[in-house]
Structure formats: structure tokens, C-alpha cells
Structure 1
């Protein structure tokens, strides 16, 4: 413990500054953005960023493809703020949709290596297909814009797929850490009145399997708002099943 404290103290006292190579700086996105706006150096960037409406309005133009552009960048009524007033946007368009039909669609978007060592590679097109498939399934289950979906999954590719599928149709996702208990999950899905929950059979952790579906069932014993439970296959273990609710 003493050695650990010593090491942390040394790190906190580190005074050296490590600058990136000039070639990397020149080709960075932030440098190209600065050049576009005539910003010469980092200090000037910080100064210009003080005008937060200008800064975030211009930055959004670089990374966001609006369905409808904002009428105003910021509506500030202390202590409340509303950003990009009047805009319409879906994050899935920029994350996935715009890459379909371009060379990027076949590039790997997501590398996964899990326990006990299984690996998966998902291209942008793979993700696009999976996200749309789940989004359509949610719509068929009656999930609409503004409805809540509880997500109780480990760190597997289906987690971001589920989040993007919700965003695609305007549903609000509530992600609950898979290490939380059934009671903790129940409290969260009851708080948000989730209409659907998404989970998996079980998952690997430290050489053992954790029965996540069983924990989900315990949570749903007293979760009246939940109509359906979508279950992904992770380990392939046998699990309890409710024909009227589980999918």
C-alpha cells in the first residue's frame, strides 16, 4: 500500500509535457477545424470557445446531420438550458445509416473479445442490419417514441445494438449494469415504467456463468409495466421461459 501511494504521488508531480508529432497535429480533425475558422493556436481556441453558442453551433455542423436544423443553439434561462432548440435528429443516422452504400460499410465498427476468449467483428453494415432488425421487433411489440426499454445486459455486442435500436425508433433506453441485483433492476424498470426489457440467458464472469435471465425473472415478478422480455443467447444454457412474455 505504501508503494502504491508513493507511485501515485510521483505521477501527480509529473511536470513533463509530451507533444504529439507535427504530422499528427497537422492531420488531426481539430486542427482542420481550427484552420477552417482561422484559429491560429490552442490559446485562441480556448478564447473563441468562450462564445459557447458559436462554438457548439459550429462544432455541431461538423459532426451532426440534422433532419431539421436548430432555430437557436442555446436557450439559457438560468438555471435551465435547452440546446439546439427546434432541431430534429436521430443519432443512428450519423452512427450507422450514412455509412451504408459507402466503402465504410464493410469496415469493422466493433471488435469484441469476451470471456472465455470468443471474438466477434461487426462491420457497419452488420450493425446496421442488427439494429434495424431489433428496432423493427420493438415496433412490432408496440414500442413507440417516448416509451421506455430496460436493458439488462453484460458487455456484449447486443448491448450497443439494443441502445441504437431504441434510439432508432425514439424509445428511451435505461441501461442497468448486469452486476446489479434483481431488486436493483426491478427498482429501475419500475421507476421508468419500462414497457419492454432486453436481457440474455447468462454470461461469463471470472470463469463462471451468471444466470441473468433468472435474475430478470425475479425482477419481473413485481414489474407491472413490462409487457415483453427479449432474450439474447450468450452461453446457451437452459433458462426458465414464459411463453406469454419472453421472446
Structure 2
């Protein structure tokens, strides 16, 4: 018997949001937003990046096409994904909101608020630092699909190291 997610994925039903859901969304006029993105993608993405991302150093160039097809986005800008994913939300009304919901194959659930996830990420980042991991190092993560996986990934990014996730799902 398929689980709920498999049943939803296999469904051919199309969901149309109600007028109330649309009015309360962050994109009240999807077609207008889409039109702007198509007409001037560079300006569109510059505005989104300035609106939605905290930058330690602002970008000078939105899109560098000089080495196409190897494009560079937000050239000169510096940010940190862990800060944008967690730290800034811990300082806001989202602090106690749900950040991560994990459900195991047996139906077990674990939930993490932004604050709880932030604490776990910081704890793991400090463990990595105590092991000598520093900015620019590469950390290979071999872990199952458990909540500790994104915690390890965010902790690695938080200290400026690079993570490489090894998926062991195909091994015996």
C-alpha cells in the first residue's frame, strides 16, 4: 500500500488555490511576477537577491556571461547560507516557527524550530572547529537521510568549509 506522499505524487488532480490563499501569499499576482522575470531577468533577480538575502559584502555584478556557458551570478557578493537559512530567522518572529519536519520510514517524526535547529547547527559547527576544521576545508558527510544530515551540512557551511555528501543508499 502506498504511503500518503506516494499517493499524492501519483495523483493527477490539479490543485488550484483559493482566492484567499492567493491574497495571503507572498506572490499575489503570479503572472505579473513571471512577466517581470521574463522581460528583465537580471533586474528581477537583483531585486530578489537584495530583498531576500543578507549579504556580508554586496555584489557588483548580477550576471557575468563573459565565460558562457559558465555563468557567474552575484559576482563580488559574499553571504553565508547558514546565516540566511537560520541565524537571521532566530532574530525574528520566526524563532519558534517550524524550520524542519523529518519523517522516518517508520512514521516517526522529529520537528525543529528555527531556534532548536540553530542550536544544533552551532553545536555541530563547534565540534567541527574543535576537530580543526576551518574555512576552505572540505568535509565529507556519510550519513543516512536523518535530520542530522542538514544539520551537518549547515554547520559545515556556517564555518566556511565545503561539504560533500556521500549518499550511501545504493550500497549494501
Per the normalisation by structure 2, the TM-score is: 0.81
The alpha-carbon deviation at position 108 of structure 1 amounts to 2.6
Unmatched runs of 5 consecutive residues or more in structure 2: 1-11
- Structure of higher RCO (CA pairs closer than 8 Å, 6+ residues apart): 2
The structure having more radius of gyration, on CA atoms, is: 1
CA distance in 1, matches of 2:108, 2:35: 48
CA distance in 2, matches of 1:59, 1:103: 21
Number of the residue aligned with 1:100: 90
Q: Moved runs in structure 1, 4+ residues, more than 6 A?
A: none
CA distance in 2, matches of 1:68, 1:118: 42
The alpha-carbon deviation at position 67 of structure 1 amounts to 1.2
Instruction: State the number of aligned residues.
Output: 159
Of 40, 44, 47, the residue aligned with 2:35 is 47
The alpha-carbon deviation at position 105 of structure 1 amounts to 1.7
For the aligned residues, what is the CA RMSD?
2.2
The alpha-carbon deviation at position 115 of structure 1 amounts to 4.3
1:24 lines up with 2:14 in the alignment: no
1:99 alignment partner, SS class:
helix
CA distance in 2, matches of 1:152, 1:131: 17
The alpha-carbon deviation at position 85 of structure 1 amounts to 0.8
Are residues 19 and 66 of structure 1, via their aligned partners in 2, closer, same or farther at CA, if it must alter by over 3 Å? same
